[in-house]
Amino acid sequence: MKRFPLLFLAAGLVSCAPLPPLVTDPPEDAQTAESSSSFLAESSSSVTAEADSTVQKPFVAMAPENAEDSIPDSTTTAAFAPIAPAADTTAAEPGASSASLLKDLSVMQLPEALQRDFRVGILVSVSKAEISGNDYIVSTTADSTQGKKKSGSMKVSPSKSDSLWVFPGEGSRLSVNGKEYRGKILVVKNAKKLNVINVLPVEDYLKGVVPHEIGKLDASMFEALKVQAVAARTYAYHHFNSRASLGFDVYATVQDQVYNGSAGEAPLPSAAIDSTVGIVLTYNGNFIEAYYHSTCGGHTEGVEVWGLSPVPYLQSQNDMKNADSAWCESSSYSTWKKVYSEKELVSIFKKNLKESRAVGKSNFSGIQQIEIKSTFPGGRVNELEVLTNKGVFTVKGDRTRWLFQEGSKILPSAKFKIEKNGKVWVIDGSGFGHGIGMCQMGARARAKAGQSFKEILEAYYPGATLQCISSGK
């Protein structure tokens, strides 16, 4: 048995067949109850809300609930100098008519610190992992010429070494716990555990994000795939080094963006990425926080729902197609209803007071009144007041969704009304997700109606500027 600085346990060849496509359910640190592990080795599609100490941000993105319906760094990489494609390069692709919109985009110089491969934490704080492939190179440094060639599978677990690099064989890809990935794999120590990191170009990373965040869709919604590509690319560049203390840039889960490696890649999403290569959203010369969500219910919100200061390009926006219907009306979460008995609510509320950050009385056995004291411009709850038999407690903003958490599920959105009907409490709600930024189901409908990706982005990120990034000098 060969011993590297990380312990390798020889094993037979393992299947590289990808796992089923991963689609997120309710969002973000919203998923605290589904939290015990998001690691692929444990086949979970949710994560803890425990954020990296270097950056504590509200959740970003989530796939629509029916996304499957259509469905200083030593790492080096080739110079990345993407420019918006010329019209004739997209002529054969859906959405080619929008190529003319790109001609006047200004070029943004990519900061030198971002001219490297992207790092995605695919397994975090695990005790072991299995890596497999053909003719790959294993090295203790980022220099593949210093490593040794290996084929088949190997198991890695913590040892005295801080890191281990695995480089794919020519024309092949590596698999981690049976799931295939583009690019390289970096294994680093995390206390007495391991972090397994996929290191690859941003454009390749997006191919494992777009189809899982907005669905694979069909050609009629190609512009929506382009919208998602631009938003996801912008998010990636904005979040370089955001998880630096863990050795990577972003999680591969809803804690950042859902990334599923090579599993679920599809020609149309990949074409959308290629046709917008290097295009990002900026504000005052900086990458924006390109938040997005599944279903807005006819009106988006600003970041104020998270208790944050207003952001110019993330303002509350009317997203109605006409007086009677929202752009996202095709979503099954366009409207929804919940019914609770008083006994159920007492139990649910007492369990969730801490998680919802409630302020006020906590020792109660009855609920006398529930009142929405104020709302945000888009209709989501700003302050919810609950009068109990022992006094009052209040919950604010998006955290009201956690107050009603049952098991792993929070309320679909904070856009709701609540009233007592006889012996039960009835919630009538609309939307799915935090409601900030792009409404993915709305983007899909807008694309199908003929809007260009530029028009859709302008609708959801007002004031933001489309630019092409370049690493050229």
464 within some domain: no
- Domain C-terminal end among 249, 283, 317: 283
How much is the average pLDDT of 27-33? 33
pLDDT tier for residue 55 given thresholds of 50, 70 and 90: very low
Domain identity same for 278 and 415: no
Provide the domain limits for residue 387. 336-429
pLDDT tens for each residue of 80-92 = 233 333 323 333 3
pLDDT band at 100 (very low <50, low <70, confident <90, very high): low
Give 397-428 pLDDT, tens digit per residue. 999 999 999 999 999 999 999 999 999 999 99
Residue 312 lies in a domain: no
- Report residue 190's pLDDT band, with 50, 70 and 90 as the boundaries: confident
Q: Do 269 and 413 have their domain in common?
A: no
Q: Which helix (H) or strand (E) holds 149?
A: strand 148-157
User: Dihedral through CA 453, CA 454, CA 460, CA 464, nearest 10?
Assistant: 140
Selected residue with higher pLDDT from 442 and 192: 442
Q: Are residues 389 and 277 in the same domain?
A: no
Q: Which pLDDT does position 99 carry in this prediction? A: 55
- Is residue 327 domain-resident? no
Q: Are residues 57 and 183 in the same domain?
A: yes
360: left (phi over 0), alpha (psi -120 to 50) or beta: left
**Which of 55-64, 264-273, 340-349, 430-439 has the lowest average pLDDT?**
55-64
pLDDT exceeds cutoff 50 at 312: yes
Question: Is it the case that residue 102 has pLDDT exceeding 70?
Answer: no
Cα separation, 352 vs 401, in Å, equals 10
Supply the pTM of this predicted model. Answer: 0.80
Q: State mean pLDDT over 231-240.
A: 98
CB 399 within 8 A of CB 312: no
Q: Residue 293 falls within a domain, yes or no?
A: no
Q: Are residues 254 and 356 in the same domain?
A: no
User: Is 119 in contact with 92 (CB distance < 8 Å)?
Assistant: no
What does the pLDDT average to over 313-327? Answer: 96
- The pLDDT-based confidence of 162 (bands split at 50, 70, 90) is confident
269 and 401 part of one domain: no
In a domain, 148, yes or no: yes
The answer on pLDDT for 250 being more than 60 is yes
Burial class (CB in 10 A: 0-12, 13-18, 19+), 1: exposed
If asked whether residues 344 and 278 sit together in one domain, one would say no
Mark whether 349 and 425 lie in a shared domain: yes
Answer whether residue 134 shows pLDDT above 60. yes
The dihedral built from the CA positions of residue 334, 254, 407 and 32, taken in this order, carries a sign that is negative
How far is residue 28's CA from residue 32's CA, in Å, rounded to a whole number?
Answer: 8
- Whether residues 51 and 184 fall in one domain: yes
Could you tell me the pLDDT band of residue 191, with boundaries at 50, 70 and 90?
confident
270 lies in a domain?
yes
CA distance 395 to 404: 11
Q: State the pLDDT at residue 184.
A: 97
Give the whole-angstrom CA distance, residue 168 versus residue 151.
10
Whether 150 and 268 map to the same domain: the answer is: yes
Please give the single-letter amino acid code of residue 280. V
Q: What is the mean pLDDT of residues 352-362?
A: 95
Which of helix, strand or coil describes residue 420? Answer: strand
Contacts of 95 (CB under 8 A, 6+ apart): 222, 223, 226, 272, 275, 452, 453
Question: Is the residue at 307 inside a domain?
Answer: no
Q: Are residues 274 and 345 in the same domain?
A: no
Of the residues 218, 252, 283, which one is the last residue of a structural domain? 283
Q: Are residues 352 and 253 in the same domain?
A: no
Question: How many domains does the chain contain in total?
Answer: 2
Q: Is the pLDDT of residue 75 over 80?
A: no
Between residues 215 and 20, the one the model is more confident about: 215
pLDDT digits (tens, 9 = 90+) for 3-28: 444 443 333 322 222 222 222 223 33
| Average pLDDT score over residue span 149-153 | 94
Q: What is the pLDDT of residue 473?
A: 55
Q: Is residue 438 part of a domain?
A: no
